[in-house]
Structure 1
Amino acid sequence: METSRIIDTVRALLEARPLDGWEITAASSRTLSIEVKEQKVDSFKCAEPVGVSIRVLKGGGMGFSFSTSMDEADLTRMVENALVGAAAQTPDEFHGFPSPADYPEISDLFDEGLAAVAEEEKVGRALTLERLVLAADPRVRKVRKAAYSESTVAMRIVNSCGVDGSYRGTSVSASVSAIAEEDGQSQMGWDFDFRNRFADLAVEPIAARAAAKATGLLGAGKIPTMRCPAVLDSYVASEILEILAPAFLAENVQKGKSLLAGKKGERLFAPLLRIRDDGTLPGGAGTAPFDAEGVPRRNTVLVEDGVLRGYLYDTLRAMKEGCESTGNASRGGIKSPPHMGISNLFIENGTMPLEGLCAGIDRGILVTDVMGMHTANPISGDFSVGASGFLIENGRVARPVKGVAIAGNILDLFRSVEAVGNDLRFYGSVGAPSLRIAALDVSGE
């Protein structure tokens, strides 16, 4: 059953009930995942799920239910389940649905030609990726996994207030894990990329970066414990920003679970930093014309010249503060209700190349990987994680380093940024350029 017919069927069921409001989300998708190993297809998975979910408002309670069956009996059961959920919930006067608004024009969300690309060509992308990695350097002895994946989604949201939004989107990606060996030591390097269009996904840069990461750390040794200047590459800077991301969500702010709560207008970050969440960013992983409630996506400045300017909102949290939603309702799929989330969160690009960030550092560290960043405390901001990278001496990258730990506080770290790189890169929905930190505690030997 196509999306519009699903919506019409469920709408008729809902309009026959005495409700205070309702919302229907219908989605159909196609996903393809290919993994190759030793120039042979190791895994080939394809799925085409279809689903519908509803939220119903009755007596201040918000009920949710979903169905992956389009039989009318199952859709009727979905409505009944949502009504039971609404009755069981504690009423909240701020529950409601958004009103219609104009959606931003976003180009290149959908690759019209993707469906016509032969599966052999998609397999070929993964095979080429594996082959290029192995050819990049003789020390790269094997590839753990080379993969290609894609998804095509069609979504429509309709609610009782008049919202009716729909869009189609495509996403293609490739990734590889390379293993380099030398003198009895082995190191792994991983890299990936994603695009909206198949023609824009180039595997050559992915292969080159993965091989360089694996070989670059060969011969890595330990360094003494020290407090020193540090350069965080774009990957590590993004990892740390991702830990801070929940602190910008109004739900956590209102519940007192954010280290940014009550600090709007304060200079909490280095004056060089500007952070924003842009759901309209061309090519972004979280880009769409509207969020999971049908509210237009926005470009929201969160930190400007180091000053915290605001937070991110969905409809419920905006109602509680008497402000507008920033279009930051998110959902993991049709089987889960909307929740608060980021779209494309990033630190704006600077002007300095990586070599410039290292220049002037007599002795410091370039951090290219961290282990266990998820263990950082998102409320206090404290972290202590394993790390690897390179020793910086006399302004230059000297030798690879492993077996160290870095520790500190996320806000202190962002406050001590003294230079911003020009190499902004996204890792999923979070992105950052490389950053130079004035001082960082590094535990070594």
Structure 2
Amino acid sequence: MKMENLIRFGEKFFDELEIAIYKNRDASVNIELNEVSTSALRERVVTVVRGVKDKKLGVSIVDTADEEKIKESIERAYKMAKLNKPDEKWISLPEPGKYRKPRKVDKELKEVSPDYFVELARKGIELAREEGIVVAGGGGGAEWRESLIINSHGINVSQEGGGAFFYIELVGMKEGRVTPGIFDFDAKLSLNLNVEEVIRKALQKVKWAFNVEKSKTEEAKVILEPEPISSLLTYALFPAFSGEKLVKGTTPLASKVNESISNELLTIYDDPLHELSINPVIADDEGVPTRKNVLVEKGIFNGFIWDNYWAKLQGLESTGNAKRSLNTGGISIGFHNVIIEKGKKSLEDLVGEIDHGYLVDGFQGAHSSNPDNGNFAVVANPAFLIKDGEVTGSTVFMMSGNIYELLPTLYEVSKEQRVLPFGGSMVVPAMAFENVRIAGK
């Protein structure tokens, strides 16, 4: 039976129907205490049926793409819909749109064995152990994704692709001193992962970390590397870009469209087809075409992102930012690949221009930030002290404030960008801020 026939079968029960099939393949390896601890190959197929009858929504999930099982799932979704209350705000599922040309995919990612990442892990462990450094943890892997989304309004879109990553956590021990865990990684749309560079960068940070210096309470220049700035923005700022929050009145950006929230150094956009994206999707999880959505342009807030439901409530079009939970089948607003535009100076140059300041490589507690007002309180660890243009040692400090007060103090952005595969695809440079209030520990 073709998918169109399944839609026609479902229309016997529903006014509108959507069927989404996801096939995922993950090859992975984990590292614990200088050894490869586990390797695994996981394959999963999930079909989500979402139907609407008299404005009542029914959802059913089944772990197969078998046609008969999908028909049973459609009937089950109908039974669920009858039990639910109508959503009087419901308008309709999305209509077909025009898709951009998909990125070329590397089919090697579809077939790679966990053994490939076992060898990468062993190589990384060997390089670190040669320097007498403990490999506390790490891992690597490749994910291959295929999806098909079809609905009763004519959407019928399929896509495939994948990415690979490798990460390591090192701990140095010398003369009774133990460094904090030092983390580094690489992520690409291919298997061409640079393990040597990951280890080299991590080892450099471990060497800095051996010389521990106390921080003090002061205002100073602070450079946030890609991982900490991405975690801070993910929790303190990015949720405020959601159209759902605008409708519900819970975003501090409600009256800030076309107003400055930073300065001309900051440009942020969401674009899954960016050249460095490891999530190059042409459609979101409702089958709506994805596009480049500029959120902040030279410090000016441009507007919100939408899925189909919340956009239609406002008389708008979806921006192609629907994300589906495979646990519940529900749709929410989310990003595909956030890019923070790069600057013109290297990170090395940014460090070299600071007489006294800090380089932060990680934040603890960013997840507790409040996106409804932008407040945050984090621990910078690991962090490194900069004196006379050189990193001289490691330190730890508290950093708290409000993201909308921090962003205008941005004074430089690095020309290097890193691809962050954790918690979604992001492409992020290092960002330097001045007059940052820190509390020494």
Aligned letter for 2:375?
Answer: D
Q: Which residue of 2 aligns with 1:46?
A: 41
Aligned letter for 2:291?
Answer: R
2:416 is paired with a residue whose SS is coil
Deviation at 1:245, TM superposition (A): 1.1
**Structure 1 vs Structure 2: percent identity of aligned residues?**
28
Which residue, out of 423, 430, 437, partners 1:434? 430
On the 8 A contact 1:242/1:430 being kept in 2, the answer is: no
Aligned letter for 1:260?
Answer: L
Q: Which residue of 2 aligns with 1:215?
A: 207
2:251 is paired with a residue whose SS is coil
Q: Deviations for 1:379-404, whole angstroms, at most 9, x for unmatched residues?
A: 111112111312223343333212x1
> 5+ residue gaps in structure 2?
none
Deviation at 1:327, TM superposition (A): 0.6
Deviation at 1:315, TM superposition (A): 0.8
Do residues 358 (structure 1) and 354 (structure 2) align?
A: no
Aligned letter for 1:153?
Answer: R
Which residue, out of 336, 356, 368, partners 1:343? 336
Q: Which residue of 2 aligns with 1:227?
A: 219
Q: Which residue of 2 aligns with 1:106?
A: 102
Which residue, out of 264, 268, 274, partners 1:281? 274
C-alpha distance 6-153 of structure 1, shift in aligned 2 (>3 A): farther
TM-score by length of 2: 0.91
Q: Deviations for 1:190-241, whole angstroms, at most 9, x for unmatched residues?
A: 122222222x222111222222233321222212211222222222221222
Q: Which residue of 2 aligns with 1:421?
A: 414
C-alpha distance 276-227 of structure 1, shift in aligned 2 (>3 A): same
Aligned letter for 1:444?
Answer: G
Taking the TM superposition and a 5 Å limit, the aligned residue runs for 1:33-72 are 33-36=28-31, 41-69=36-64
Aligned letter for 2:433?
Answer: I
Deviation at 1:29, TM superposition (A): 2.1
Between stretches 70-79 and 299-308, larger displacement belongs to 70-79
C-alpha distance 360-154 of structure 1, shift in aligned 2 (>3 A): closer
Deviation at 1:93, TM superposition (A): 3.7
Which residue, out of 6, 17, 22, partners 2:17? 22
Task: Provide the rounded CA distance (Å) in 2 between the counterparts of 1:51 and 1:338.
Answer: 15
Which residue, out of 153, 176, 183, partners 1:161? 153
Q: Which residue of 2 aligns with 1:126?
A: 121
Q: Which residue of 2 aligns with 1:398?
A: 392
Aligned letter for 1:33?
Answer: S
Task: Provide the rounded CA distance (Å) in 2 between the counterparts of 1:119 and 1:208.
Answer: 24
Task: Provide the rounded CA distance (Å) in 2 between the counterparts of 1:71 and 1:421.
Answer: 50
Q: Which residue of 2 aligns with 1:327?
A: 320
Deviation at 1:127, TM superposition (A): 1.3
C-alpha distance 8-239 of structure 1, shift in aligned 2 (>3 A): same
Q: Which residue of 2 aligns with 1:264?
A: 257
C-alpha distance 383-321 of structure 1, shift in aligned 2 (>3 A): same
Q: Which residue of 1 aligns with 2:300?
A: 307
C-alpha distance 146-6 of structure 1, shift in aligned 2 (>3 A): farther
Task: Provide the rounded CA distance (Å) in 1 between the counterparts of 2:361 and 2:164.
Answer: 25
Deviation at 1:114, TM superposition (A): 3.6
Q: Which residue of 2 aligns with 1:409?
A: 402
C-alpha distance 237-105 of structure 1, shift in aligned 2 (>3 A): same
Taking the TM superposition and a 5 Å limit, the aligned residue runs for 1:116-195 are 117=112, 119-135=114-130, 137-138=131-132, 140=133, 142-187=134-179, 188-195=181-188
Q: Deviations for 1:85-105, whole angstroms, at most 9, x for unmatched residues?
A: 434134234432111112111
Q: Which residue of 2 aligns with 1:11?
A: 7
On the 8 A contact 2:274/2:280 being kept in 1, the answer is: yes
C-alpha distance 158-371 of structure 1, shift in aligned 2 (>3 A): same
Q: Deviations for 1:280-302, whole angstroms, at most 9, x for unmatched residues?
A: 22341332010000011111111
Aligned letter for 2:324?
Answer: R
On the 8 A contact 1:274/1:303 being kept in 2, the answer is: yes
C-alpha distance 85-411 of structure 1, shift in aligned 2 (>3 A): farther
On the 8 A contact 1:229/1:439 being kept in 2, the answer is: yes
Deviation at 1:271, TM superposition (A): 2.2
Aligned letter for 1:255?
Answer: K
On the 8 A contact 1:23/1:159 being kept in 2, the answer is: yes
Task: Provide the rounded CA distance (Å) in 1 between the counterparts of 2:282 and 2:45.
Answer: 21
Q: Deviations for 1:44-101, whole angstroms, at most 9, x for unmatched residues?
A: 2222211211111221233221111456664344223322443413423443211111
C-alpha distance 53-118 of structure 1, shift in aligned 2 (>3 A): closer
On the 8 A contact 2:103/2:280 being kept in 1, the answer is: no
> 5+ residue gaps in structure 1?
none
Task: Provide the rounded CA distance (Å) in 2 between the counterparts of 1:354 and 1:11.
Answer: 53
C-alpha distance 211-378 of structure 1, shift in aligned 2 (>3 A): same
Do residues 370 (structure 1) and 363 (structure 2) align?
A: yes
Q: Deviations for 1:334-378, whole angstroms, at most 9, x for unmatched residues?
A: 753221101111211011122332355443222222111111111
C-alpha distance 268-178 of structure 1, shift in aligned 2 (>3 A): same
TM-score by length of 1: 0.91
C-alpha distance 92-426 of structure 1, shift in aligned 2 (>3 A): farther
1:267 is paired with a residue whose SS is coil
On the 8 A contact 1:106/1:282 being kept in 2, the answer is: no
Aligned letter for 1:371?
Answer: Q
Task: Provide the rounded CA distance (Å) in 2 between the counterparts of 1:158 and 1:102.
Answer: 15
Task: Provide the rounded CA distance (Å) in 2 between the counterparts of 1:157 and 1:182.
Answer: 55
2:116 is paired with a residue whose SS is helix
Aligned letter for 1:158?
Answer: I
Between stretches 155-164 and 175-184, larger displacement belongs to 175-184
Deviation at 1:35, TM superposition (A): 2.4
State the superposition RMSD in angstroms: 2.2
